[in-house]
Amino acid sequence: MLAVSDLKIHYRTLAGAVKALDGVSFSVADGEIMGLAGESGCGKSTLGKALIRLEERMQYVGGQVTLDDKVLPIADDRAMNPYRFREVSIVPQYAMSALNPTRRIGRMIDELLEARGLKGATLRPELERRLAILGLTPDVLGMYPIELSGGMKQRVVMVLSTLLDPSLLIADEVTSALDVASQKKVAGALVEFRDRGYVKSMIVVTHDLAILAQVADSIMIMYAGKLAEKAPTRTIVEAPAHPYTRLLLGSLPEVGIRFEEKRLPGIKGRPPSLLSPPTGCRFRDRCPLAFDKCAEEPPFIEIAPGHQVACWKADAHAEG
Amino acid sequence: MLRYLARKLFIYLLTFIVAVTIDWAIPRFMPGNPVDALVSRIALMPDANAALTSYFMAAFNLDQPLWQQYLNFWWALLNGDLGRSIMLFPTPVTTLIGRALPYTLGLLLPSILLSWYVGNVVGALAARRKLLDNTVLPLGYLLTATPYMWLGILLAWVLGSSLGWFPLAFGYDQSLKAEWTWKFISSLLYHWILPFASLFLVALGGWAIGMRNMIIYELESDYANYLMALGAPQRLVRKYAFRNAMLPQITGLALQLGAVVGGALVTEIVFSYPGLGWLVLSGIQNQDYFVIQGVFLFIIVGVLLANLIVDVVYVIVDPRTRVGLQGDAA
């Protein structure tokens, strides 16, 4: 069970602090695969990274992260180390280049495990078993990363990241660089690993809503450093309450429609700068439903069980 | 692997032939003639001069057509004969080179290897300590931008001429006899320090900067980030980063070798150090074809050998080249 409350992460830049995460609160239940979506720069990757390791230019400003009733010391790199890999793990965006190119994969894994105080040899059978689940033979452990295809590297990284059965796995844009066939395999593997209990809960960060519809139990939509909506996948797809979610879904192509006749609508305008974000609802300028009250910031409230929205007009939509 | 080596060897052989041909041609395209210089030194009557000139021309085979001289040259070379020096007639060139070689090697090998080693260590340290980085980087740029002979002249002027701490010239005290006594060896070392320092310092700057940049690059690379996200200790990440950062440094060592040999020649001239550089300078001044040829031949072989060794070492340390080879063979 992951609980995040009022998390604020800023990026230090020469122009000032970029408020990439500006007070984010949500929770992920055990066994839940939560999709995290939004357009580029909305803070979804920042959120994913913040839960495991802050980059040097990322600055913890406030908030609390609790995993299985323990507070994660995310602001303290050293104190966070024991939790990494064992409690929280990540399949990074750059899985293709995540393995040291000059070490055989098996040796690299052994060295990593030993550096974490574990025995590579005792974990080897489990490692090989899990590789087999994803269709990889134990031979890959004797190879260098360059000898593997991109999809194979991705799967090796998935197995390695989840080897210690972490409570939370962050999958950051894991399908973005893959072809459709590999995407499907990786998506299937995520669900499989959850079902087998290798990971308790998962946050799948992506801009690809189609993938989330396949794997996620719930979807959380972010906009400009804030949460817009979180709901079970079905609800998000069928009855989104936030106007941003609706526009986001509306800009996806649908099977069977010829776009020569009907243009994809898209969303007009651009997200606000996070250097000095506007007050009130951040989607106000692009929102077709905006009215006077949107000058006040809408709270992220539950409008139905498991369905939270930050929009003054959310109730009306959910009903209509 | 064997195919790769065979291909490499073929390329090196081709390079060798071309380089040696150029080496043979250049002194012969210089204006003037070594025999004239030799004869004018003997200073006989004008008609005797003419007879002597034609005698020497025939003796050195310089009266033959160029293509014949070229073939003679290769034939002699393959028999290990580099000819006889004209300026120090009749000493064979091989003897002259044999005499000069220990000085050059004694200067080159320690300066190349030590600067490479020390530079890599200093650079790797600088990559993680801000304070050290702020001094190493500008100093490194300054050193690496300095021409060898200029630093040599500077050192000779300040430490040799002004302060008088070190001797200005020669390989050892000229009043001593070359023998294995403590006195001679210490004199040898004493004379060695300045030319060594000038070569060492210039090379050091480049290595330190290169290593610093490579380590920083590696520590920011994806695999380093992934390891840190999985809680790997700094020790492991740095170990990987250092190892991977070494690869370009190894290539760099081979590439630098040629430049350092050139630098050693000039440095030896600055310090009148009795190595190959000094020998080649006197060879050029006296238009001694055979000495020039011989010395450059040595340098050619040295650079090619060094590169070949690095090629082989690279295959051993970087699996990516090895995989590339397998892919090639398949």
List, for residues B178-234, the tens digit of each pLDDT value: 777 787 788 888 888 888 888 888 888 888 998 998 998 999 899 999 999 999 998
What total number of domains does chain A contain? 1
pLDDT in tens, B290-302: 888 888 888 888 8
pLDDT in tens, A176-211: 777 888 888 888 889 999 999 999 999 999 888 888
Q: Which chain A residues contact residue B320 at CB under 8 A?
A: 101-102, 144, 146
Is the CB of B319 less than 8 angstroms away from the CB of A101?
Answer: yes
Distance CA B222, CA B212 (A): 18
pLDDT, residue B279, reads 87
Distance CA A105, CA A95 (A): 13
Distance CA A210, CA A202 (A): 17
Note whether B98 and B183 are within 8 A (CB): no
Terminal Cα distance for chain A, rounded: 33
CA–CA min distance B88, chain A (Å): 54
Q: What are phi and psi of A27, to 5 degrees?
A: -140, 155
Note whether B27 and B293 are within 8 A (CB): yes
Considering the domain boundaries, does residue A317 fall inside one? Answer: yes
Question: Is residue A49 helix, strand or coil?
Answer: helix
Is A76 part of the contact surface with chain B (CB cutoff 8 Å)?
no
pLDDT in tens, B83-113: 777 777 778 888 888 888 888 888 888 888 8
B170 DSSP 8-state letter:
S
The mean of the pLDDT values for chain B is 81
Distance CA A112, CA A101 (A): 15
Considering the domain boundaries, does residue A91 fall inside one? Answer: no
Selected residue with higher pLDDT from B166 and A138: A138
Cross-chain CB nearest to A98 (options B226, B235, B236)? B226
The mean of the pLDDT values for chain A is 89
Selected residue with higher pLDDT from B65 and B323: B65
Considering the domain boundaries, does residue A307 fall inside one? Answer: yes
Instruction: Of A29-43, B163-177, B292-306, give the lowest mean pLDDT range.
Output: B163-177
CA–CA min distance B100, chain A (Å): 42
Is the CB of A92 less than 8 angstroms away from the CB of B229?
Answer: yes
Selected residue with higher pLDDT from B282 and B80: B282
| ipTM of the complex model | 0.90
Identify the band that residue A261 occupies on the pLDDT scale cut at 50, 70 and 90: low
Is A97 part of the contact surface with chain B (CB cutoff 8 Å)?
yes
* pLDDT score of B324 more than 70: no
Considering the domain boundaries, does residue A5 fall inside one? Answer: no
* pLDDT score of A21 more than 80: yes
Is the CB of B244 less than 8 angstroms away from the CB of A94?
Answer: no
Is B323 part of the contact surface with chain A (CB cutoff 8 Å)?
yes
B79 DSSP 8-state letter:
T
DSSP readout, B177-224?
Answer: -SSS-HHHHHHHHHHHHHHHHHHHHHHHHHHHHHHHHHHHHHHTSHHH
Q: Which chain B residues contact residue A105 at CB under 8 A?
A: none
* pLDDT score of A316 more than 70: no
Identify the band that residue A40 occupies on the pLDDT scale cut at 50, 70 and 90: confident
* pLDDT score of A4 more than 50: yes
pLDDT, residue B328, reads 40
DSSP readout, A107-133?
Answer: HHHHHHHHHTT--HHHHHHHHHHHHHH
CA separation, residue A161 to residues A71, A127, A170, A234, A282 (Å):
21, 11, 10, 29, 35
Instruction: Please determine, looking at this structure, whether the domain spanning B2-31+82-329 carries the CATH number 1.10.3720.10.
Output: yes
Is the CB of B222 less than 8 angstroms away from the CB of A97?
Answer: yes
Is B130 part of the contact surface with chain A (CB cutoff 8 Å)?
no
pLDDT in tens, B232-249: 998 899 999 998 998 888
Structural domain of residue A272, as residue ranges? 240-320
Distance CA A268, CA A251 (A): 11
Give the pLDDT mean for B139-145. 86
pLDDT, residue B329, reads 36
Is B249 part of the contact surface with chain A (CB cutoff 8 Å)?
no
pLDDT, residue B76, reads 83
Considering the domain boundaries, does residue A22 fall inside one? Answer: no
Instruction: Of A104-118, A246-260, B132-146, give the lowest mean pLDDT range.
Output: A246-260
pLDDT, residue B105, reads 84
Instruction: Of A20-29, B65-74, B311-320, give the lowest mean pLDDT range.
Output: B311-320
What residues does each domain of chain B span? Answer: 2-31+82-329
* pLDDT score of A220 more than 70: yes
